Structure 1
C-alpha cells in the first residue's frame, strides 16, 4: 500500500491506532477552556470527536496518515521585507491542498478497501480530526514547539490527510521530539502567540488574524502584521529541520509566480469579481474579498510608502465597515493631519457605524469631538 501511496505523490505514509493519543481528552478541553481558539467556534463543536477518533467513526480500527510536501520555492522571510508587496503564506500560493489531497486519498482509500475488504473514510482538514497528533503517533514527525508537525525528511511543510479504516493494519512506532533546546520558532513570532512551548494562542497568531478572524484586526497587532496579507510563515521558516526539505514535487502543488509577492496597489484594486478570478482554486478565495482587502489595507498602512495612501483613500467608501475602518487606519499612518481633516469632512462626518467612527477618532482624535459639538450647536 505504501508503494501505491508514493505513486500517487504522497511523500509520507504511516499507520496508527484510533486510541494512540489518549492525552487529547485532556489537552483539547484545556486549550478550549483557555479561549485559545478565539472565534473558531467549529473547534468546540464536536470536540468529543476531535479528542477521540473512535467517536467520529466507532468502526475505526486503523488510521493511515499521509503527507504531501508543499515546501516553498522561495525563502518566506524574504517576502516580509518587500513592504510595497503582499506576503502570502507558502501553502496559499498554490492550489488549495484540500482539492489536491482529497482525490488522492479517495483513490488510495479505494485501493485499501479493495485489498482488505473493509470500508474506509477519508479526511483532509474538513472534519473533526486532529491530524497533527495522529501524524506524530503514526511516526510522520513530531509536533514542534510551534505546534506544527515537523518531519526529519520534509521539515514542517507537510500537508496532512487521513484514511480511517475498519481493517486491522500494523501500526508504526510514534516519532519522538527532536526540538531539543531550540526555540527559534517561539522567538521570531511577531505577536508572541506562544504562551509556552507547544502551546499556541490563536487569538494572537497572524495566521488566525488574517484568515479566520472576521472582524477588525485588534489595533495592538496591526503594526506587527507588516505586509502579511494572508497567513504567516515566520515560525515555520526558521525551523532548522527545513534544511532537509525540498520544494513541492506534485505539479498541482507548484506555487503560482503571481502569488509570491503581489503588489499591494494591485491587490487593493480588486473588486469581488476580480478577486474571485485572481484567487480561484486557492485557499485565499475562501476568505472572501472583503476580509482579504482588510488585510491588504493593514499592509498598506505598514508600508511606509506614501504613494500607496491613495489606495486606502479609495477604500473609504467601501460598503463593508471593517474595510472602511482598515482604510482609515492606513490613511492615518500615511497621510498628513490636514489631508486627514479633509477626508474626515468628506467621509467621516456622516459615518453611522460605531466601529468606523472609533477608527476616525483614533486617526484624528480632535475631529470627532468637533463633529459632536457641531451637531449639538445645530440642534
Structure 2
C-alpha cells in the first residue's frame, strides 16, 4: 500500500491516539535496523548467559532482523502498558521491601499477580490493527508480546519509549519500568520517532540490589543467576549455591526495579486485568504449598504463573520454606507442610523438599 507522506504522518498520530484509547500508556514507531545490536546479542549467546532458554539461540540473528521474522516489515509500532496494580499498596516499593523481610511470606513478582499480560496486550494490539485496516484497508502486520524472537527493549529504545537501564530493562522518565512492551510489525512506512537520551548516570542501585549477582555489569545480565530465570524459565533443579539467595521469592523478582529511583514515578494500570488476584500480594508460603494441582490450575486460571505448572510451583515454594526455616520463622507449620510433600511423585519436588527440611536442622 502506498500512502502520501502527509497521510502517513496523520495516520501515525491517529494510531498513537487509538493506542491510548485501548489502554496503552504510549505508542511510538521504530525503524527496523537493529544491526548495531546484533553483535551484542551474539556475544551474550556465545557466553551462555541465556542458560537453558534454547529458543534464544535457535532464532539467532533473526531477533535483530524483524524483516526476516515477518517478510515485508519496514516499521515496528512499539507500545508500553502500565501494570502496577490499581488496587495495590500506595507506597508499593516500601511494601515490597517489607515483604522480603517476612520469612513466611510468599513473594510473587508484581507483574504476575493479575491476568496474563500476553493475552491482554496481544488482544489490544490486534484491536489496534483492526482499527487501522478499517481506516486504510488491508495492510501487512503481525502482533507480538514477549513471545517471539523480537528485541523488544532495543526497538522500544530506538523508538524513544525510554532508555535501557543498567538492569537491561526499559526505563521511562514518567513511568519508571513497571510496564509491559508489545509490538506490531507492519509494512506501513510510517514516520519513525527519535530515541531519547539515557538518564541512569552513575547510579548502580540495581546492580547492588540483585540478590544473586545476576547483573554482572552495567547492561549485562547472566540469566542463569537471575531469580526470574530460576523460578520461571528453569525446568530442572535450582542450583544449590543459589537457593539460599532466592529467599522467599517464589515467582520472579522485582528487586532491581524496586530500588530504581525512576520507579518513584511508576504509573498505575488503567486496566482492571492487572488488579491483584487470589491475594497474591499477601500470600503465605504454607498456604500456597498446600494447593493441589487442581487448585493450582483453578486459582491461577488466566494467570501467567500457570505456565510453569504445579511441579515447578512446588519446587519454588519448597525453596522459600527452606529459607524461611533458616531465617528463624516458627518451624512447626513449615516443617509440617514440607513433610506432607515428602513423598511427592515428582523427584524434582522431593529433592527440593528434602533440601528445605534440612534447612530446619542446619
Q: Indicate whether the TM-score tops 0.5.
A: yes
Considering Cα pairs closer than 8 Å and 6+ residues apart, tell me whether 1 or 2 has the greater RCO: 2
TM-score (norm 2): 0.90
Structure 2 equivalent of residue 329 of structure 1: 355
Select the residue among 189, 210, 214 that pairs with 2:231. Answer: 210
The SS at the match of 1:15 is strand
Structure 1 equivalent of residue 19 of structure 2: 5
Counterpart check, 1:241 vs 2:235: no
Measured in 2, the distance between the counterparts of 1:155 and 1:256 equals: 23
CA offsets per residue over residues 277-332 of structure 1, 9 Å max, x none?
A: 11111111110001011010100001132121111111110111110011101110
Unaligned runs of 5+ in 2: 1-14
Counterpart check, 1:133 vs 2:159: no
Alpha-carbon distance, 1:58 to partner:
2.4
Is the 8 Å Cα contact of residues 49 and 223 (structure 2) preserved in structure 1? Answer: yes
Is the 8 Å Cα contact of residues 227 and 300 (structure 1) preserved in structure 2? Answer: yes
Alpha-carbon distance, 1:189 to partner:
0.5
RMSD between aligned alpha carbons? Answer: 1.2
Is the 8 Å Cα contact of residues 116 and 167 (structure 1) preserved in structure 2? Answer: no
Structure 2 equivalent of residue 90 of structure 1: 110
Measured in 1, the distance between the counterparts of 2:195 and 2:35 equals: 14
Moved beyond 6 Å, runs of 4+: none
Alpha-carbon distance, 1:253 to partner:
1.6
The SS at the match of 1:259 is coil
The SS at the match of 2:194 is coil
TM-score (norm 1): 0.86
Is the 8 Å Cα contact of residues 84 and 274 (structure 2) preserved in structure 1? Answer: no
Select the residue among 140, 146, 156 that pairs with 1:119. Answer: 140
Measured in 2, the distance between the counterparts of 1:230 and 1:15 equals: 32
Unaligned runs of 5+ in 1: 337-379
Counterpart check, 1:77 vs 2:97: yes
CA offsets per residue over residues 12-39 of structure 1, 9 Å max, x none?
A: 11001111x2222211111000000000
Is the 8 Å Cα contact of residues 72 and 140 (structure 2) preserved in structure 1? Answer: no
Structure 1 equivalent of residue 4 of structure 2: none
Counterpart check, 1:294 vs 2:315: yes
Is the 8 Å Cα contact of residues 230 and 284 (structure 1) preserved in structure 2? Answer: yes
Counterpart check, 1:35 vs 2:56: no
Structure with higher Rg: it is: 1
Counterpart check, 1:170 vs 2:191: yes
After TM superposition, the structure 1 = structure 2 runs for residues 308-327 of structure 1, keeping only pairs within 5 Å, are 308-327=334-353
Select the residue among 136, 149, 172 that pairs with 1:151. Answer: 172
The SS at the match of 2:183 is strand
CA offsets per residue over residues 210-261 of structure 1, 9 Å max, x none?
A: 1101111111111110000000000011111112222212111222261113
Is the 8 Å Cα contact of residues 48 and 55 (structure 1) preserved in structure 2? Answer: no
